[in-house]
Structure 1
Amino acid sequence: MTVTTDPPRLEIRNVTRRIDGRAVVNDVSLSIAAGQVTCLLGPSGCGKSTTLRMIAGVEMQDTGEIWVDGKLICDTVFRVPPERRGIGLMFQDFALFPHLSVADNVGFGLKGPKEARRGRVEELLAKVHLHRYADLFPHQLSGGEQQRVALARALAPRPRIMLMDEPFSGLDNRLRDGIRDETLALLKDEDAAVLLVTHEPEEAMRMADQIALMRDGRVVQQGAPYNVYTRPADKAAVAFFSDINVLRAQVNGALAQTPFGQFLAPGHPDGTDVEIVFRPQHVKLDFDRGGKGPVPTPSDGVAARGVVERARFLGNESLVEFRMDHDGSILRATVPNVFMPKPGRVMWLTIRRDRCFVFPAS
């Protein structure tokens, strides 16, 4: 029995783009299936938007190939025009036509019989909960409503691929989560392959089936959000998703000795300087008991003594900063809900061993 698998809806193979001699996109490869949302995540200027423009056909790559449904649409010689690629675009600027009604904006790019076009417009306006606004104009809508009109317009021609460049960045924080969830449900319903560009880790974690973490023009890590978060490629990958603490140590016998006890450092030769990276939420706090801390355990290691520098309540958690006795460094811990110890209070800190990452010192 022969099992056949469909090709990826969108595939980018070893794409590079140079501007003024600098590789702003450097050997990037991605594969996205129909119905899958992939987030291209990274800081500003790392090449995310340039990658989108090459896929859309607005820019040409210097090397590499772009494929859609197993068919080549662009290399360094052959190029399908942007309007024939079956790709929808949505950007920060919704770019609605101010002189057209909501319904006319949504139906602007549609072809075919009038009744079919009207039916598609009505279907999408109902899905984005704007069917009562069909005759209004963009200036009569809120920012969130304009965003939904732009989404409906981009989806109206039933594109095989949807490219979204920071589409939610202009929305009020209070609206953003709801709009994201509505957008995600509609994109899944349309079965398009979605490539969403964002610099916000929370947005990528919330929306993506796969995350491609990009830095300095390269994709440094790809995978499901859980895997990218819990198995980061390097210290910078950890730091992109959250605040971090760093301990420095030297390896001896595959172990790194610190004031918090030993950490496993397999694969690092003796004498290697390493950094042990961990997030503030994985620091455990205990009270001082007559100058003593908790008993060491295999899961949490040895406790180290610190003095509270300051504590801040952040809404759903508290951030506490400690001045550590062993070297005077600052270590940060987050605690759920309200925990506001006064400055100068002595506490003991331990670190969950299963939430630490050991990397060669940078």
Structure 2
Amino acid sequence: MNLIGKRQRGPSVTLDATPPRLEIRNLIARYEGRVVVDNVSLSVDAGKVTCLLGPSGCGKSTTLRMIAGVEMQESGEIYVDGKLICDTVFRIPPERREIGLMFQDFALFPHLNVADNVAFGLKGHKDEKRARVEELLRKVDLIHFIDKYPHHLSGGEQQRVALARALAPRPRIMLMDEPFSGLDNRLRDGIRDETLAILKEEDAAVVLVTHEPEEAMRMADEIALMRRGKIVQQGAPYNVYTRPVDKAAMAFFSDINVLKTNVKGALAETPFGQFLAPGVPDGTNVEIVFRPQHVRLDFDRNGKGPLPTATDGKAARGVVERARFLGNESLVEFRMDYDGSILKTTVPNVFVPNPGRVMWLTVRRSHCFVFQA
């Protein structure tokens, strides 16, 4: 019998998958009869950062408080390393959940020095506690401030002390509620990067709450975009940004341009040419949505007229309304001939044409999205 290329079968072995460090299932919370968290589920592995991103009032902080145990869910379950820590009947108290907390208000004790602030809540022998404090203060580069008091520190330094204090008990999970929003813009990026590196070293599962898309993109391994109490999209930052589920999700991350049209024969006609709309019934109103950086200015046309291009469809004529230099790019707004609307485009470096200049614009099809209106 020829057995070449045949897969040899042996006894079947079932390997248990490692459960996520944190898993929440179908959390629901109401406030004064209104649903503020609506069937939210997510999981976070050790050493990973998941960001709850969304506008104020969408349920991000309430979700965080339920995980911490300071607020009870109406229904749903919370697991840590595969073990139930809270449902509507069983509940482990907050102080026994091995969860660290960081908030916008650093909440350092003004009457305690840096060492005592970091050691607050630590258990064990005095020498062991001191060793842990010094270890963390070296990580956050504040060992030379060990005997100082909070009022001697800058905002960024206080934030790092708060991080060290939250990490001191070696929490399995770290919850962060907009911890960087009170920092100066010049310091924020550096502090965020340092914090992320330390959290990765400590191997904690991190849930970060923010309303800033740039912060979520910079820090998260996964983004859960929330709206009106629900997670509307979840995935890696690149996927959430480049494959938005709807116009609102796309607009949350950047400015957008919108062309309104309708479908005929699976095609949507626009001043920039036809766009494919497969599976959309004839007569359906749709919106073609694209970001300003995906509008191309045709510098070679010089107003000679709209000529078709192979990759960008037809060109449309616009008149410069205003232009501003933003530092690493320029924002140019055009009043479009086809309907008088404003279309935004960004151009790398300095490009500030005078108002009234006529230019032709095309749109990169690969970066456009067709959503039902």
TM-score interval, smaller chain: over 0.9
The answer to whether residue 309 in structure 2 is matched with residue 297 in structure 1 is yes
Partner-residue secondary structure (3-state), 2:133 = helix
| In structure 1, C-alpha distance between the alignment counterparts of 2:300 and 2:262, rounded to whole Å | 29
| In structure 1, C-alpha distance between the alignment counterparts of 2:293 and 2:151, rounded to whole Å | 44
- What amino acid is aligned across from residue 33 of structure 2 in structure 1? G
Equivalent residue number for residue 316 of structure 1: 328
- What amino acid is aligned across from residue 150 of structure 1 in structure 2? A
| Candidates 238, 245, 252, aligned match of 2:250 | 238
| In structure 2, C-alpha distance between the alignment counterparts of 1:289 and 1:13, rounded to whole Å | 56
The answer to whether residue 351 in structure 2 is matched with residue 339 in structure 1 is yes
| In structure 1, C-alpha distance between the alignment counterparts of 2:24 and 2:107, rounded to whole Å | 27
- What amino acid is aligned across from residue 224 of structure 1 in structure 2? A
- What amino acid is aligned across from residue 316 of structure 2 in structure 1? A
CA contact (8 A) 2:325 2:331 kept: yes
Equivalent residue number for residue 115 of structure 1: 127
Equivalent residue number for residue 3 of structure 2: none
CA contact (8 A) 1:287 1:346 kept: no
Provide, for residues 156-202 of structure 1, a one-character-per-residue CA deviation record: whole Å limited to 9, x for no partner: 00000000000000000000000000000000000000000000000
- What amino acid is aligned across from residue 138 of structure 1 in structure 2? P
Partner-residue secondary structure (3-state), 2:333 = strand
Listed as ranges, the gaps of 5+ residues in structure 2 are 1-12
| In structure 2, C-alpha distance between the alignment counterparts of 1:250 and 1:240, rounded to whole Å | 24
The answer to whether residue 85 in structure 2 is matched with residue 90 in structure 1 is no
Partner-residue secondary structure (3-state), 2:144 = helix
Which structure 2 residues correspond to residues 91-170 of structure 1 after superposition, within 5 A?
91-170=103-182
Equivalent residue number for residue 190 of structure 2: 178
> Quick one: percent identity of the two aligned structures?
81
- What amino acid is aligned across from residue 273 of structure 2 in structure 1? G
- What amino acid is aligned across from residue 272 of structure 2 in structure 1? F
Equivalent residue number for residue 93 of structure 2: 81
| In structure 2, C-alpha distance between the alignment counterparts of 1:213 and 1:180, rounded to whole Å | 20
| In structure 1, C-alpha distance between the alignment counterparts of 2:96 and 2:300, rounded to whole Å | 69
CA contact (8 A) 1:122 1:131 kept: yes
Report the CA distance between 1:116 and its aligned residue.
Answer: 1.0
| Candidates 331, 342, 357, aligned match of 1:330 | 342
- What amino acid is aligned across from residue 76 of structure 1 in structure 2? T
Moved more, 352-361 or 293-302: 293-302
The answer to whether residue 101 in structure 2 is matched with residue 71 in structure 1 is no
Partner-residue secondary structure (3-state), 1:219 = strand
Provide, for residues 232-283 of structure 1, a one-character-per-residue CA deviation record: whole Å limited to 9, x for no partner: 0100000000000000111112111001001111221111100010000000
CA 1:196–1:290 in 2, change beyond 3 Å: closer, same or farther? closer
Q: Aligned Cα RMSD in Å?
A: 1.0
Equivalent residue number for residue 291 of structure 2: 279
CA contact (8 A) 2:303 2:360 kept: no
CA 1:225–1:293 in 2, change beyond 3 Å: closer, same or farther? farther
Equivalent residue number for residue 35 of structure 2: 23
Report the CA distance between 1:4 and its aligned residue.
Answer: 2.7
| In structure 2, C-alpha distance between the alignment counterparts of 1:112 and 1:288, rounded to whole Å | 73
For this pair of structures, how many residues does the alignment match? Answer: 361
- What amino acid is aligned across from residue 141 of structure 2 in structure 1? H
- What amino acid is aligned across from residue 186 of structure 1 in structure 2? I
Partner-residue secondary structure (3-state), 1:238 = helix
- What amino acid is aligned across from residue 50 of structure 1 in structure 2? T
The answer to whether residue 257 in structure 2 is matched with residue 250 in structure 1 is no
Provide, for residues 197-240 of structure 1, a one-character-per-residue CA deviation record: whole Å limited to 9, x for no partner: 00000000000000000000000000000000000010000000
CA 1:112–1:348 in 2, change beyond 3 Å: closer, same or farther? same
| Candidates 45, 48, 59, aligned match of 1:33 | 45
Partner-residue secondary structure (3-state), 1:229 = helix
- What amino acid is aligned across from residue 197 of structure 1 in structure 2? V
Partner-residue secondary structure (3-state), 1:239 = helix
| In structure 1, C-alpha distance between the alignment counterparts of 2:127 and 2:71, rounded to whole Å | 36
Equivalent residue number for residue 270 of structure 1: 282
Listed as ranges, the gaps of 5+ residues in structure 1 are none
Partner-residue secondary structure (3-state), 1:125 = helix
Q: TM-score, normalised by structure 1?
A: 0.98
Partner-residue secondary structure (3-state), 1:38 = strand
Q: Which runs of 4+ in 1 moved over 6 A?
A: none
CA 1:2–1:308 in 2, change beyond 3 Å: closer, same or farther? same
- What amino acid is aligned across from residue 155 of structure 2 in structure 1? G
Partner-residue secondary structure (3-state), 1:233 = coil
| In structure 1, C-alpha distance between the alignment counterparts of 2:134 and 2:163, rounded to whole Å | 14
| Candidates 324, 348, 355, aligned match of 2:360 | 348
- What amino acid is aligned across from residue 151 of structure 1 in structure 2? L
| Candidates 8, 12, 17, aligned match of 2:24 | 12
CA 1:115–1:293 in 2, change beyond 3 Å: closer, same or farther? farther
Provide, for residues 286-316 of structure 1, a one-character-per-residue CA deviation record: whole Å limited to 9, x for no partner: 1374642464234211100000001011111
Partner-residue secondary structure (3-state), 1:15 = strand
